[in-house]
Structure 1
Amino acid sequence: MPNNKNTLFEDIHKQYSPMVLQMCLGFVKGDRDIANDLSQEIFISIWSNLEKFKGESSYKTWIYRITVNTCLQYVKKDKKEKEMLSSSVENQPALVDSGKEEAQDNSRLYRAIGQLKEIDRLIIMMVLENQDYENISEVIGINAINVRVKIHRIKKRLETILKNDKND
């Protein structure tokens, strides 16, 4: 069994690590170091719970749920910690590679996504992963028609945030 578990985990990691990292980036507003740490934590959780997977959903759905729960726990913990810290820590400059325009655009997008409600962040990150409405509806727990409406509203909200960000 351990060899099968190792093989299965390697396959899961290879297939889903880009998706997990991208979702983490969305939750932490593009901070790659934190996203990498969260990704590692998620895959440790996947490894630890691999025997508990019951097959009631796809691995992808299961991994999405673990990713979302881990990221939400981090966001809540981080929010509490920031409230306790002095404002000087919060005013540290963001680490952005100013030499690359694409990196700046991605950073702006992730910061904008970070301003969305948690559920909206999850949905838009799944859209960026090219998930279809049925997959998104399965993970979120709402029907596909509502997913389509939510995505439209989220995109409008992101446009507004990015437009306002450019004006600042």
Structure 2
Amino acid sequence: MTDYSDDDILKMIFENNDSELLMKVIVEKYHFRIYNHVRSILISHEDANDVTQDIFIKVWKEIYKFRGDSKLFSWMYRIATNESINFIRKNKKHSVLIRESTENYLLSRLTADTNINGSKLQIELQKAIAKLPEKQRHIFNMRYFEELKFKDIAEILGITEGGVKSSYHFAEKKIKDQFKVD
């Protein structure tokens, strides 16, 4: 398939072109990045696959509502972030009876996922990240692993760039402190 630019994709959206071709182009262009973002939030490969499919279904249903106020990628990232958070909240509700926190939920997914085969240091880093508050965890993952600019993270999350920088630096400090303790 031809490599479509973001401008080509926006043109396809606003001209109401063939939605099947449009979705093929969007999935081909963004699947890897969206999956990695979701995986950084959910940790589990299987959960990330399921949620990523749900995200592209939602994008397909909502694509013609996209107004172009932000980058298409930012709009999709926001959907991916929200769907991932909703997935965690929904699955956490099933474990409320045993009072499992988000941190414990993520740690259990980390140890249960057979697709995680990183070094001991990588696994310890993931454990430290799982202990961060939700907002800091998302910001840290987007900046550190996905190498997004603070400006783009702010746009995706709908917060100020200063707020993103502050949250990132607090997260970074907590992770460094965690490694000093362990």
Q: 5 Å matches for 1:16-35?
A: 16-28=30-42, 30-35=43-48
Deviation at 1:156, TM superposition (A): 1.4
**1:106-137 deviations in Å (ceiling 9; x for gaps):** 44433332322221122122112111111112
Amino acid at match of 2:26: I
In the TM superposition, residue 146 of structure 1 has moved relative to its aligned partner by: 3.1
Give me the TM-score of the superposition, normalised by structure 1: 0.78
Query: What is aligned with 1:37?
Result: 50
Q: Does 1:146 align with 2:168?
A: no
Q: Deviation digits for residues 3-52 of structure 1, max 9, x if unmatched?
A: 63222222222222222222222222x21111111111111111111122
Residue among 69, 86, 95 paired with 1:82: 95
Residues 84 and 136 of structure 1, relative CA distance in 2, 3 Å threshold: same
**1:42–1:70: 8 Å Cα contact kept in structure 2?**
yes
Please state whether the residue corresponding to 1:130 is helix, strand or coil: coil
Instruction: Find the aligned partners of 1:99 and 1:93 in 2 and give their Cα distance.
Output: 7
CA contact (8 A) 2:139 2:168 kept: yes
After superposition, give the CA deviation of every residue in 1:137-165 in whole Å (9 maximum; x if it has no partner): 2122333233222211111112234555x
Kindly tell me: are residues 31 and 93 of structure 1, through their superposed partners in 2, closer, same or farther at Cα, counting changes over 3 Å? Answer: closer
The 5 A counterparts of 1:98-137 are 100-102=117-119, 105-127=121-143, 128-137=145-154
Aligned to 1:4: 18
Cα distance in structure 1, aligned partners of 2:110 and 2:149: 37
Where 1:94 maps in the other structure, the secondary structure is: helix
Deviates most, 154-163 or 120-129: 154-163
Question: What's 1:53 paired with?
Answer: 66
Q: How many residues align?
A: 161
Structure 1: gaps of 5 or more residues: none
- Asked if structure 2 preserves the Cα contact closer than 8 Å seen for 1:26 and 1:110, the reply is no
Alpha-carbon distance in 2 for matches of 1:8, 1:99: 33
Considering Cα pairs closer than 8 Å and 6+ residues apart, tell me whether 1 or 2 has the greater RCO. Answer: 1
Identity of aligned residues (%): 25
CA root-mean-square deviation:
3.0
When structure 1 is superposed on structure 2, of 142-151 and 120-129 the one drifting more is 142-151
